[in-house]
């Protein structure tokens, strides 16, 4: 049974290699000639102000969550579209009910002002 | 109305009374008391009617009701009177109105709640005695704690909360192990016979292997021994008695403690005969230790209530001694002793309550020469003292005498077989009678005679209500002392059944005596032994 | 399968969904409307009635074979859960006149219904998440205390960890069996395979966390305390029921065998002991209920030691008795000026003198939770321990009974406060001043809890027979 997981293990290893490898390679073979200007943080030609770890605007989170929701909806729609000719009217109606519920939710968030930036 | 219906009515009258109480306006305390008294009185009359109708020649249940309750487990609602419980039910119903009447002036706070609790307590106590199904029995047995918890905790003395929590935690610990045993017993009975049933009659028919019996009896016995209470499980009793209001003490001593001995009589010993044989020496020893220890401690108390509390431990030791003797006279004596102790201890606690109500202290040293100040009170006190000592013509004599007679006759048989211990223990139990006379006479002597002093002047003697309450108890004491034949006849067949149940089992024979081993005594002859 | 059968099988869910859409529609169309309470009450009550009716009719169907099926048992379970939600809604009216409370509650209930009928890990996961996510928001919704946000976050993070653990366990089970059907779990129960066992343990741990079993219980006291009263009632009664039904679906009829039995016995046992001991030291009612619910999670998981058919009976009966009593306590709790004051146990002192009815209700609930007869909690506990003994674990049964004995003290302490303690001294009068009588809806909620409790106390046999087994 562990055999089944061998590809997963290989996948993980390759993933790690892919991520860490270039970093290490860059670190090892890249030329490094540091001086003061190069080491200072760069901010569009200004003198840096504020901390690099400034918090994101909370609205980004809202947008991100809404994006995930409707992104997943697409994930449902693609397979449905592919087999639409086989599942017939019932399948069509089922998806319409699903979309209708989703639309109600969409209108709700719109009304609640979740899509307003200001 | 059939007699079975009357029995159900007896059981549920207190509940109906308690449910009717909220309808009474809070300010009408007199109405609340009257209603509770009326319910209790009616209940006693109905019980007396049933007692008169109870046929001593019929073995087994009378006035039985049996309805399926939880059919898939074989639990049924089954109640009925038999020789085991008939006297105790009568005692409970008899004390009910006296408790309510005795509390007319003592309870001033939350009067409605108090009477509701007393009525519910009456219901659960009667239910425990009447139940013929183990599930139902446990239900009532455990439900009893709630009203008692409130009675001690709300209307008790200074350390009432400590005392009542201790009381509940002690008794509930025994009960929780008993619950495990109940479940296991029902399961084992089901595995043995294939029939799911919690009915006593069915459970009597199952015989378990000895190790299982031993464990189960230990669990049941712990629960019952805490309730009796037997030394060393007695430490909750003095606290509960001292802190409880008078009504609570009367119920506690009069009825509640009998639950434990009744449990042994009806369930503990008959269900597990082999284990009983194993446990007999230990239980006999503990009984005698309880008799002597309770008496010894009663001798040195300075609080009047504590004297009577410790005397209860001593007196219930006799009951246990009679039960383990497995001798017909001993068993009947034990049943009689239960009733007798209910009357005398209940009466004495009422008397203590009455003097406490007048003078607000229970210190023995604070009193003296009451015979001159409160003559009527003193007469009642003396009668009940003598009954507690076991003076002939009082109920205390019949019970104790029969128990000792039974214990000796059983011990002698064993002595002939080579066992000395039972005989020695029976001898030691006689010493308890002497100690009993000592501590009760010390109490009465200090209280009633000598230099006249009371901590609170002026004191008035008993009111008519109090005289009636005490008069009823004294009447009961003498009735049982002078004419024990009737109650003995009603419990005789049950005592024989108890012997038969003890004699069966895997290793029947041995030291336990089958009823055939001795010439059966006709009912009349049994009673004829007593003056 | 005709559309009619599908709709009948899904009737409770359809009613809830219709209610939910209506709630959202109202929110969109009518600004500041006052109908949310009525709509959700109607939807939940109708769904409960439909579930009870379908259960009595004995109908069963599998509208989505392999993922979702219904039968008399599942309908009974849904009826229990939905019925418990009705008094919770009545309690909420005063606290939440409108707003997102109602749609969140109804969608969470929808999740519970999904859990109860789930046949595959996919549906189960969907149901569990749909049930839990609204509750994270519900906890923080009232925001009456500083700690609410922290507690809600704690709950969110730990519950999220539980979901992740669940998924990891499921992936291991899927790897072993190649199937997403819940039967993969019950098959793995009997397996000696390491991965299968690891999967079972991971999935169980996830549900232990969601049900607040020691040592995964730490979120519960904070979350119960931070939430407002109706939300606490909802978590204690309904969410816990949902989690337990999920575990029931997982186990199906498979027996618990060693060494799993020991895990299934020891953690719940630790839960009983620790929950009951820690409850002794609490001075807030909701924390007390939280610790009591930790102990009760222990009794509930004990039921899984028993044999298959008896489990559903024991767990459902227990959840009904326990849920009714929990909602009863919170419904009877007299309102006060602010939330912190309302919660304090001290404030219950001498309540009998001021509000006898409320005091009685709290006392009855405490005694039932303590498992003292004749209250329904006793029969529930008896049923659980009877099954444990019948399955051949008398020692665990006795240990569990002793564990339940430990809880007696703190339940008695509440009753002692109610009846025996003098009212709080003058300095606390300011706190007591805000004390009002329970609202009429709260009284209705107490009646809705009390009446069924009386019925199941008087006729436990009738209920047990209705629960199959």
First to last CA, chain A: 55
Nearest-neighbour CA in chain A from C24: distance (Å): 7
Q: Which of residues 67-96 of A touch C (CB under 8 A)?
A: 90
Task: Give the model's pLDDT for residue C427.
Answer: 53
Q: What is the ipTM of this complex?
A: 0.93
| For chain B, the helix, strand and coil percentages under 3-state DSSP, each to the nearest 5 | 75, 5, 20
CB of B73 within 8 Å of any CB in chain C?
yes
CA distances from C131 to A88, C28, C102, C109 (A): 32, 24, 14, 6
Residue B138's Cα: distance from chain center in Å? 17
Where do the domains of chain C lie? 3-466
Nearest CA in chain C to B76: C461
Q: Any chain C CB within 8 A of the CB of A108?
A: yes
pLDDT at C361 over 50: yes
Q: Which residues pair with B133 in a beta bridge?
A: B199
Q: What is the pLDDT of residue C306?
A: 86
Q: How far apart are CA B52 and CA B486, in angstroms?
A: 10
Q: How does A95-113 read in b/e, with b if 16+ C-beta sit within 10 Å?
A: beeeeeeeebebebbeeee
Helix (H, G, I), strand (E, B) or coil at C144: coil
- Domain hosting B505: range is 3-528
Mean pLDDT (chain C, rounded): 90
Count of domains observed in chain B? 1
pLDDT digit string, tens, across residues A90-116: 889 989 999 998 888 889 888 888 888
Q: How many inter-chain contacts (A to C, CB under 8 Å) are there? A: 21
According to the model, what pLDDT value does residue B519 have? 44
What pLDDT, on the 0 to 100 scale, is given for residue C194? 85
Give the model confidence (pLDDT) of C169-216 as tens digits.
999 999 888 889 999 998 888 888 888 888 999 999 999 999 999 889
pLDDT in tens, C256-296: 777 788 888 999 999 999 999 999 999 999 999 999 999 99
Position B509 scores a pLDDT of: 45
Phi, psi of B434 (to 5 degrees): -65, -45
Instruction: Output the pLDDT for position B287.
Output: 95
The reply to whether B169 touches chain C by the CB within 8 Å rule is yes
Contacts of B270 (CB under 8 A, 6+ apart): B204, B498, B501, B502
A110: nearest CA in chain C? C28
What is the model's pLDDT at position B526? 43
Quick one: pLDDT at residue C54?
A: 93
Which among A1, A4, A108 is the nearest to C28, CB-wise? A108
pLDDT of residue C1: 58
Q: What is the pLDDT at residue B301?
A: 93
Distance CA A13, CA A22 (A): 14
User: Rounded to the nearest 10 degrees, what angle do helices B395-416 and B375-389 cross at?
Assistant: 10
Domains in chain A with CATH codes: 2-111 (1.20.58.1610)
Which residues pair with residue B81 across a beta bridge? B62
Whether residue C28 and residue A1 make contact (CB cut-off 8 A), yes or no, is no
Inter-residue contact B385 to B440 (CB < 8 Å)? yes
Partners of B62 in the beta sheet?
B81
Q: What is the pLDDT of residue A38?
A: 77
- Closest chain C residue to A93 measured between Cα atoms? C3
For residues B342 and C98, which has the higher predicted lDDT (pLDDT)? B342
Query: How high is the pLDDT of residue B505?
Result: 67
Q: Give me the residue label for tokens 């918090």.
A: A55
Please enumerate residues of C whose Cβ is less than 8 A from a Cβ of B: 352, 367, 372-374, 378-379, 382, 385-386, 389-390, 394, 397-398, 401-402, 404-405, 408-409, 412, 415-416, 419-420, 460-461, 464-465, 469
Looking at the predicted structure, is the pLDDT value of residue A27 above 90? no
Which pLDDT belongs to residue B271? 92
Q: What pLDDT sits at residue B531? A: 36
pLDDT at B520: 43
How far, in Å, CA of B466 to CA of B103, rounded?
10
User: What are the per-10-residue average pLDDT scores of chain B (531 residues)?
Assistant: 91 95 88 95 96 91 93 92 94 96 89 95 96 95 95 92 94 94 91 86 88 94 94 92 94 94 94 92 94 94 94 94 92 94 95 92 90 92 94 91 93 88 91 93 92 83 93 95 92 92 67 42 42 36
Q: Residue C314 has what pLDDT?
A: 93
């Amino acid at each position: 049974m562990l055999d089944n997981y061998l590809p997963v293990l290989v996948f993980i290893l390759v993933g790690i290699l892919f991520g860490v490898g270039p970093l290490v390679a860059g670190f090892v073979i890249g030329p490094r000639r540091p001086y003061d200007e190069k080491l200072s943080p760069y901010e569009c030609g200004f003198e840096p102000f504020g901390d690099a770890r400034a918090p994101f605007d909370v609205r980004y989170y809202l947008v991100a969550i809404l994006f995930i929701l409707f992104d997943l909806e697409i994930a449902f729609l693609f397979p449905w579209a592919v087999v639409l000719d086989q599942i017939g009217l019932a399948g069509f109606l089922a998806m319409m009910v699903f979309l209708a519920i989703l639309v109600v939710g969409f209108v709700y968030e719109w009304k609640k002002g979740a899509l307003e930036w200001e | 109305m059939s007699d079975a219906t009357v029995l159900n009515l007896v059981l549920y009258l207190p509940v109906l009374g308690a449910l009717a109480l909220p309808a009474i306006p809070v300010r009408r305390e007199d109405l609340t008391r009257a209603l509770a008294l009326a319910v209790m009185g009616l209940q006693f009359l109905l019980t007396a009617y049933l007692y008169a109708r109870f046929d001593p020649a019929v073995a087994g249940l009378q006035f039985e009701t049996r309805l399926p309750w939880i059919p898939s487990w074989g639990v049924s609602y089954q109640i009925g009177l038999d020789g085991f419980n008939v006297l105790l039910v009568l005692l409970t119903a008899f004390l009910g109105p006296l408790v309510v009447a005795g509390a007319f002036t003592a309870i001033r706070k939350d009067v409605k709640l108090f009477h509701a609790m007393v009525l519910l307590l009456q219901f659960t106590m009667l239910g425990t005695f009447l139940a013929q199904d183990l599930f139902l029995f446990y239900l009532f047995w455990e439900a009893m704690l709630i009203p008692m918890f409130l009675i001690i905790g709300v209307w008790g003395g200074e350390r009432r909360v400590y005392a009542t929590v201790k009381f509940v935690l002690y008794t509930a610990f025994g009960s929780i192990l008993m619950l495990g045993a109940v479940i296991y017993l029902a399961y084992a009975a089901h595995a043995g016979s294939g029939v799911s049933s919690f009915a006593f009659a069915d459970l009597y028919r199952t015989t378990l292997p000895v190790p299982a019996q031993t464990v189960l009896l230990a669990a049941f016995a712990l629960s019952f021994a805490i309730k009796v209470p037997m030394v060393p499980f007695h430490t909750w009793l003095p606290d509960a008695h001292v802190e409880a209001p008078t009504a609570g003490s009367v119920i506690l001593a009069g009825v509640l403690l009998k639950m434990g001995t009744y449990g042994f009589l009806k369930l503990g010993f008959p269900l597990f005969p082999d284990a009983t044989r194993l446990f007999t020496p230990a239980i006999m020893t503990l009984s005698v230790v309880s008799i002597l220890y309770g008496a010894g401690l009663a001798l040195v108390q300075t609080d009047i209530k504590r004297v009577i509390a410790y005397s209860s431990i001593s007196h219930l030791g006799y009951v246990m001694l009679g039960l383990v003797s497995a001798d017909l006279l001993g068993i009947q004596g034990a049943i009689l002793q239960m009733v007798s102790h209910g009357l005398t201890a209940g009466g004495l606690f009422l008397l203590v309550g009455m003097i406490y109500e007048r003078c607000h202290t229970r210190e023995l040293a604070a009193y003296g020469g009451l015979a001159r100040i409160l003559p009527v009170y003193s007469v009642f006190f003396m009668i009940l003292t003598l009954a507690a000592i076991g003076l002939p013509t009082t109920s205390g004599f019949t019970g104790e005498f029969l128990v000792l007679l039974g214990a000796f006759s059983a011990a002698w048989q064993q002595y002939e077989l080579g066992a000395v211990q039972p005989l020695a223990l029976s001898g030691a139990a006689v010493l308890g009678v002497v100690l009993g006379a000592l501590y009760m006479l010390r109490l009465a002597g200090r209280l009633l005679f000598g230099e006249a002093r009371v901590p609170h002047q002026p004191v008035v003697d008993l009111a008519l209500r109090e005289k009636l309450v005490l008069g009823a108890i004294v009447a009961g004491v003498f009735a049982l002392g002078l004419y024990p034949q009737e109650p003995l006849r009603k419990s005789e067949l049950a005592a024989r059944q108890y012997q038969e149940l003890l004699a069966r089992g895997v290793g029947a024979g041995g030291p336990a005596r089958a009823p055939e081993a001795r010439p059966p005594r006709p009912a009349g002859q049994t009673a004829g032994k007593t003056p | 399968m005709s559309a009619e059968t599908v709709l009948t099988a899904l009737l409770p869910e359809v009613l809830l969904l219709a209610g939910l859409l209506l709630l959202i529609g109202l929110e969109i169309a009518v600004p500041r409307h006052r109908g949310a309470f009525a709509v959700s009450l109607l939807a939940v009550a109708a769904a409960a009635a439909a579930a009870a009716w379908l259960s009595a009719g004995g109908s069963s169907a599998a509208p989505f074979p392999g993922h979702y099926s219904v039968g008399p048992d599942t309908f009974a379970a849904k009826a229990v859960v939905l019925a418990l939600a009705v008094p919770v809604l009545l309690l909420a009216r005063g606290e939440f006149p409108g707003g997102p409370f109602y749609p969140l509650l109804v969608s969470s209930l929808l999740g519970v219904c999904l859990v109860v009928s789930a046949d595959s890990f996919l549906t189960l996961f969907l149901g569990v998440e749909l049930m839990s996510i609204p509750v994270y928001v519900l906890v923080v919704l009232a925001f009456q205390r500083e700690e609410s946000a922290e507690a809600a976050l704690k709950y969110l993070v730990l519950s999220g960890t539980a979901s992740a653990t669940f998924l990891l366990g499921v992936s291991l089970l899927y790897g072993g069996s190649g199937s997403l059907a819940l039967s993969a779990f019950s098959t793995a129960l009997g397996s000696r395979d390491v991965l299968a066992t690891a999967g079972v343990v991971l999935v169980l741990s996830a549900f232990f966390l969601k049900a607040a079993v020691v040592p995964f219980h730490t979120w519960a006291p904070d979350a119960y305390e931070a939430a407002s009263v109706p939300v606490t009632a909802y978590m204690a009664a309904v969410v816990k029921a949902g989690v337990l039904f999920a575990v029931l679906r997982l186990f199906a009829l498979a027996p618990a065998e060693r060494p799993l039995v020991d895990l299934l016995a020891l953690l719940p046992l630790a839960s009983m002991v620790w929950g009951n001991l820690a409850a002794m030291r609490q001075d807030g009612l909701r924390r007390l209920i939280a610790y009591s619910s930790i102990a009760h999670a222990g009794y509930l998981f004990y039921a899984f030691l028993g044999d298959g058919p008896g489990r559903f009976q024991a767990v459902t009966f227990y959840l009904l008795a326990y849920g009714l009593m929990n909602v009863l306590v919170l419904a009877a709790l007299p309102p006060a000026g602010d939330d912190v004051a309302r919660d304090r146990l001290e404030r219950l002192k001498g309540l009998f003198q001021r509000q006898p009815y409320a005091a009685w209700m709290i006392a009855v609930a405490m005694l039932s939770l303590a498992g003292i007869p004749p209250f329904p909690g006793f029969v529930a506990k008896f049923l659980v321990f009877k099954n444990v003994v019948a399955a051949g674990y008398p020692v665990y049964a006795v240990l569990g009974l002793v564990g339940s004995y430990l809880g007696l003290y703190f339940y008695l302490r509440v009753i002692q406060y109610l009846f025996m303690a003098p009212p709080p001294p003058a300095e606390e009068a300011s706190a007591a001043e805000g004390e009002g009588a329970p609202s009429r809806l709260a009284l209705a909620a107490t009646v809705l809890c009390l009446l069924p409790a009386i019925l199941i106390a008087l006729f436990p046999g009738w209920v047990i027979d209705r629960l199959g087994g």
